[in-house]
Structure 1
Amino acid sequence: MAGVSAVNERAEILAAQRNDDSFETLWDELEWRGLIHVSTDQGALSELLEGEPFTYYCGFDPTAPSLHLGNLVQLLLLRRLQLKGHKPLGLVGGSTGLIGDPRPTAERTLNSRDTVAEWVTRLQGQVSRFLSSEGDNAVRLVNNLDWTAPLSAIDFLREIGKHFRVGTMLKKDAVAARLNSEEGISYTEFSYQILQGYDFLELYRQYGCLLQSGGSDQWGNLTSGTDLIRKVEGRSAHAIGTPLITNADGTKFGKSEGNAIWLDPEMCSPYTFYQFWLNQADADVIARLKVFTFLSRAEIEDYERQVAEEPFKRAAQKRLALEVTTLVHGSAAAQGAIDASEALFGRGDLAALDEVSLRGAIGELPRAAGGEGSLVTQLMVDAGLVKSLGEGRRAIAQGGVYVNNVAVEAEDRVLGASDLLHGRYAVLRRGKKTLAGVTA
């Protein structure tokens, strides 16, 4: 029944999504939301978006077992075009995932075929959650391994490779960066742009696909496809490059200590996900609302006013965190994250939290290993709340130590079975805001 409920909620989330009819064209809305960094002919694209339904695509390579926030930008762009009546293809690259597009600094580690195949399945499931599978423009999932696997190296070089000029390929940003690095670039990664261009050609042939979207750092790969279609088929195709989302200080968005904010709840808990959005800076939050939510222009402009006049209320951040966490993880997970945030600081009942929300919250805290019979002062030392047992005893004597939001009164207090929430977790607090988790 839980699975059925999740499917129904996902359908309700999709059904509630709308483009904003206060804009004259979809292109106008995409520009206002900051979703267009670079594109092929703007006038032709705007006309195409307002015309008859057409097929478009974005590719996602299985170089990890989950999509991340950078991919979410593309999924939401695909969804906005689908809401306009156009027909999305979600490509998960079973072949390009075996190679990986060039990174700026070093060669990728190649994953096994079995691993890539498993990740293809996982990413296809994620892509399908953000796009409607109903109606005449239902999303269709495709895998580029289907058309590259039967192709021999000789056929590939004769039929596709002959259309690419090495001088042009060398000028692509990702390639140029690697050529100037100590690592250099292998022929494997150098050839990636040909494979992506071939994908667009095949999708044009099979589905009449006319548009590809991707991050602006993929622009060279996107135009490889439009150029190939022009050379081979004599037809015009289009590309949209979305901006790389950065914070106001210029740092890359979606990264924390080098780790992406993943869409898979096992890799990034709903609590961690919620907190990420809640902690967006005032300088960034309005841009995030534009890109990552379906709130209308009027609603977002009202939040912009609130940020300017009452920033201390953090109303925009709270709405952003609620909207995006609900979009990705569902309303129950979003509410669980909110409840956990409140309960950690004594404004709610920790014992009432579901295990997933509690585990996610504790995962963000300094932690100590312990269980029934563990001395609270020792746990405080182990978790870094105090530097010594003596300091821990003094903190207890001063009335500033709590286990699961209940004040500790005895210096020799140990954890009892009833302190272990869901049989294995406890929360220590010193003062109002210094927290640590205990995991048995």
Structure 2
Amino acid sequence: MDNVYDILLERGYIKQTTHEKEIRELLGKEKITFYIGFDPTADSLHVGHFLQMMVMAHMQRAGHRPIALLGGGTGMVGDPTGKTDMRKMMTPEQIQHNIDCFKNQISKFIDLKDGKAIIENNANWLLDLNYIKFLREVGVHFSVNKMLTAECFKQRLQKGLSFLEFNYMLMQAYDFLELNRKYNCVLQFGGDDQWSNIIAGVNLIRRKEHKPAYGMTFTLLTKSDGKKMGKTEGGALWLNKEKTSPYDFYQYWRNVDDADVEKCLALLTFIPMEKVRRLGSLPGEKINEAKKILAYEVTKLVHGKEEAEKAEKASETLFAGGEDMGSVPTAEITRDYLGCSIVELLVKLNILASKSEVRRLISQNGLTVNDKKVEDPKLVVTEDDFKNGYMLVRRGKKNYNRIELK
């Protein structure tokens, strides 16, 4: 299977294309430049971004050149897509910090040597735009009536769409035009929620430059019940190990639903599809072997072989009831913490994001301390809870944290 289009299709990435036949033909006969945009809304990429970087990696392996476009300009506005409320506006300093974090993470997934890939920042052309000139060059090609029918604006229209956000589609379209002029970039990728914005860029290039441009969206990472994948008790599943430890990251994939194993193996690993289908169809308890492979492979790609092996060992030790805690996330506390409630302790240590989350977990019988279910949110942490100098907290079935008393 030489054409990367067929690889992306077989693995389940492709959701929509602007010109299916032409794109497949183009990817089969030429080495092209394409781009994916990342708006710096946090200081780490999350697992949804990881799927996009897998697409980048497949394309780069086939000889095509990726551009990772960081939204130093569009981040000043905020993408209204999928939001019922306006995004909180970030300061230029926050945006720059997030961009620096993104650059560092992206460089681990795509090969930047010898111009094989490019990291660009749309602040380079958006921040100094002349507004009147922009309106005359770009705004003239957009119909307000048509824009208002776009999926990305529908939810925001219910509560009120600000003029600030209304400009986002024009800015993203202009990004594509600028990358086309600067790097001969002819294809934009994005999540399926970006379809309207991608079409806007494709149409703008075709009208302004009178040459072909294309767009493709890929499937959003969802569970078999349709809900977004990558949500944890503590929030998003981050790629930064300070925000989501390699152990917790491994455990997330180790515990996915049976019905989601094959899809995750196809989208988030490079395992050949023949093996993916075989692993995904394992019956009964044997599917757990496929989950172990999934967890190891995804953790290896994101955090490296050493961290993946440590997480795998720690997981197996805990399943077997052993004492070697390996790389189970560990926090240290002083005696000053003794006497506070279990709810306060878990929030102070950032093991869970809020007191309400801890209480909800307790009400669902999902919190265990030293193999004993916590039934009372007012439970006070005492020195007796620290056997051999540590306390073992379990969230749900298989998420562990070790707390050491110093």
- Which range, TM-score by smaller chain? 0.7 to 0.9
Q: Deviations over 1:232-274 (max 9, x none)?
A: 1011101110111211111111223582211111111111111
Q: Identify if the C-alpha distance between structure 1 residues 346 and 52 changes in structure 2 by more than 3 Å, giving closer, same or farther.
A: closer
Quick one: distance in 1 between partners of 2:399 and 2:288?
A: 21
Q: How many residues align?
A: 370
TM-score of the two chains, using structure 1 as the length reference? 0.77
What's the offset of the Cα at 1:116? 0.3
Distance 2:59 2:209 in 1: 25
Is 2:38 the counterpart of 1:64? no
2:93 to 88, 106, 114: 114
Tell me what 1:366 maps to: none
Query: RMSD of aligned C-alpha atoms?
Result: 3.1
The Cα of 1:413 is off from its aligned counterpart by 5.9
Selected match of 2:130 from 152, 157, 166: 152
Q: Give 1:57 deviation, angstroms.
A: 0.6
The equivalences for 1:301-320 within 5 A come to 301-306=277-282, 309-312=283-286, 314-320=288-294
1:264 is matched by which residue type in structure 2?
Answer: N
Who is 1:226 aligned against? 202
Shift in alpha-carbon separation, 1:258–1:42, aligned structure 2, 3 A: farther
Q: Are 1:280 and 2:272 an aligned pair?
A: no
Task: Give 3-state SS (helix, strand or coil) of 1:230's partner.
Answer: helix
Give SS of 1:129's match: coil
Residue 36 and residue 373 in structure 1: after superposition, are their counterparts in 2 closer, same or farther (change >3 A)?
closer
Structure 1 residue corresponding to 2:20, chosen from 35, 42, 45: 42
Q: Which residue of 2 aligns with 1:3?
A: none
Which letter maps to 1:251?
Answer: K
Relative to structure 1, is the Cα distance of residues 345 and 192 closer, same or farther in structure 2, using a 3 angstrom cutoff? same
SS in 1 for 2:328: helix
Q: Which whole-Å CA distance do the structure 1 matches of 2:60 and 2:224 have between them?
A: 30
Q: Distance in 2 between matches of 1:120 and 1:374?
A: 40
Letter in 2 for 1:128: S
**Residues 53 and 435 of structure 1: is their aligned pair in 2 closer, same or farther, counting only changes over 3 Å?**
closer
Aligned to 1:51: 29
Deviation string 1:54-98 (CA, Å, 9 cap, x unpaired) is: 111101000111111111111111111111111111111100111
Rate the CA distance shift 1:373–1:236 in 2: closer, same or farther, 3 A: closer
- Structure 1: 5+ residue runs without aligned partners? 1-22, 364-368, 388-394, 402-411
1:87 aligns with 2:65: yes
SS across alignment from 2:329: helix
Report the identity percentage. 37
Residue number in structure 1 paired with 2:328: 358
Match of 2:403 in 1: 438
Q: 1:295 to 1:346 in 2, by over 3 A?
A: closer
What is the Cα deviation at residue 53 of structure 1?
Answer: 1.1
Distance 2:385 2:129 in 1: 67
- Which of 102, 123, 126 aligns to 2:102? It is 123
> CA 1:434–1:325 in 2, change beyond 3 Å: closer, same or farther?
closer
CA–CA distance in 1 between the matches of 2:140 and 2:306? Answer: 54
Q: Report the secondary structure of 1:253's partner residue.
A: coil
Q: Does 1:329 align with 2:303?
A: yes
Task: Tell me which residue corresponds to 1:14.
Answer: none
Looking at structure 2, the residues matched to 87 and 31 of structure 1 have their Cα atoms a distance apart, in angstroms, of 19
Measured after TM superposition, the shift of residue 310 of structure 1 is 4.2
Distance apart, 1:428 and its partner CA: 6.6
Give the deviation of 1:346 after TM superposition: 5.4
Correspondence 1:189 to 2:165? yes
- The 3-state SS of whatever aligns with 2:67 is strand
Letter in 2 for 1:69: V
TM-score by length of 2: 0.83
**Counterpart of 2:188 in structure 1: which amino acid?**
Q
Q: Letter of the aligned partner of 1:359 in structure 2?
A: P
Give the aligned residue type for 1:248.
Answer: S
2:328–2:402 CA contact under 8 A, matched in 1: no
In structure 1, distance between residues paired with 2:145 and 2:284: 54
1:203 aligned residue: 179
- Read off the aligned partner of 2:97 and give its amino acid letter: E
Rounded to whole Å, the distance in 1 between the matches of 2:393 and 2:32 is 57
Q: What letter corresponds to residue 84 of structure 2 in structure 1?
A: T
Q: Which residue of 1 aligns with 2:3?
A: 25
SS of the residue 1:38 aligns to: strand
User: Quick check: 1:98–1:111 contact (8 Å CA) kept in 2?
Assistant: yes
Q: In 2 relative to 1, CA 374–227 (structure 1 residues): closer, same or farther, beyond 3 Å?
A: closer
SS, match of residue 57 in structure 1: strand
Structure 2: which 5+ residue stretches go unaligned? 347-357, 363-368, 373-382
CA drift at 1:349: 4.1
Cα separation, partners in 2 of 1:428 and 1:278, compared to 1, 3 Å:
closer
- Cα offset, 1:414, TM superposition: 7.6
Do the aligned partners of residues 24 and 88 (structure 1) sit closer, same or farther apart at CA in structure 2, a change above 3 Å counting? closer
Aligned to 1:133: 112
SS at match of 2:238: coil
Alignment deviations for residues 203-227 of structure 1 (CA, whole Å, 9 cap, x no partner): 0000000000000100011111101
